[in-house]
Structures are given as C-alpha cells and as structure tokens.
C-alpha cells in the first residue's frame, strides 16, 4: 500500500466491489462444475492429410464420452470457428479442409451435454502429464 499526492493505492478491502466479486465467484464455480461433469478430453488426437484437400482427424475414445466434436480454426483465429459432430466415431474426415490452413482439435461430450476442453494433436496439446524424457 502507498499514498501519493493524497491518493491511497493498494489492495485494500475498502476498494473491493463485493457484488462483482460474488458474480465472478459464481461464474468460476459454474465453470468448474461443468468441467467436472464433462468426460476427459480425447487421448491421442492425430491429424493426417498432407498433399491433399481433405484432413483426417482421429483420436482414442475416453470413458464417459457419448460423442465427440472436431473443431478447427484459421491459424490466426483466437477462437474456434468451425465444428462438426462425429457421433461416437473416433475418426472424422473433413472434406475440402486442407491440413495446412487450420488448427484442429477434438472434444468429448457426455450424454447430458457437458463438453471437455478441446484437445490439440500431439504432446503440446495434451492435458495429461507429458512422458519423461529418456535418461531423466
């Protein structure tokens, strides 16, 4: 805490907006509950489609998933812009969606509609702990 030119600065209780903080807490609790009810993200997400116009996205099934959604977005987009339901399948071919132009991911969905975070292909997008490097 500090005071400059008669103005008090710092994280003080008198500056807390408690009604706003209560709403933030509610949003956080609802989000955590929804994530807790969702199945785990799919494991082993892979993409294939070099030298072609179609992209094949595949993944391993996870317990509790009633279905899956394949997501893709432009490499410069901050949010997912496209989605296709895959049902209970573990592979989906995206016709005329070139692998080089998009980021891809897969989410799992429970029977009551709760959805996992989107899992990217490869180790960098995996929500699980990475394997230890050899010799470490």
pTM for the whole structure: 0.79
β-pairing, 55-60 vs 43-48, is antiparallel
Second CATH level (architecture) for the domain 39-125: Sandwich (2.60)
- Is the Cβ–Cβ distance between 39 and 64 less than 8 Å? yes
pLDDT at 10: 83
CA proximity to 105, closest of 68, 71, 54, 61: 71
Q: Domain ranges in the chain?
A: 2-35, 39-125
CA dist 30 and 3 (Å) reads: 38
Over residues 25-83, the pLDDT tens digits come to: 999 999 999 999 999 999 999 999 988 899 999 999 999 999 999 999 999 999 999 99
* 3-class DSSP state of 13: helix
Over residues 83-115, the pLDDT tens digits come to: 999 999 999 999 999 999 899 999 999 999 999
Q: How confident is the model at residue 15 (pLDDT cuts 50, 70, 90)?
A: confident
Asked whether the predicted pLDDT for residue 136 surpasses 70, the reply is no
């Amino acid at each position: 805490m500090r005071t400059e030119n008669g103005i008090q600065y710092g994280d003080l209780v008198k500056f807390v907006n408690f009604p706003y903080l209560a709403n933030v807490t509610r949003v956080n609790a609802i989000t955590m509950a929804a994530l807790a009810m969702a199945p785990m993200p799919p494991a082993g997400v892979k993409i294939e489609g070099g030298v072609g116009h179609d992209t094949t996205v595949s993944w391993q099934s996870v317990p509790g998933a009633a279905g899956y959604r394949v997501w893709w977005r432009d490499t410069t987009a901050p949010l997912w812009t496209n989605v296709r339901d895959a049902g209970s399948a573990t592979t989906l071919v995206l016709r005329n969606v070139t692998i080089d132009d998009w980021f891809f991911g897969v989410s799992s969905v429970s029977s009551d509609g709760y959805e996992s975070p989107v899992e990217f292909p490869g180790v960098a997008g995996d929500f699980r702990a990475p394997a230890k490097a050899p010799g470490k």
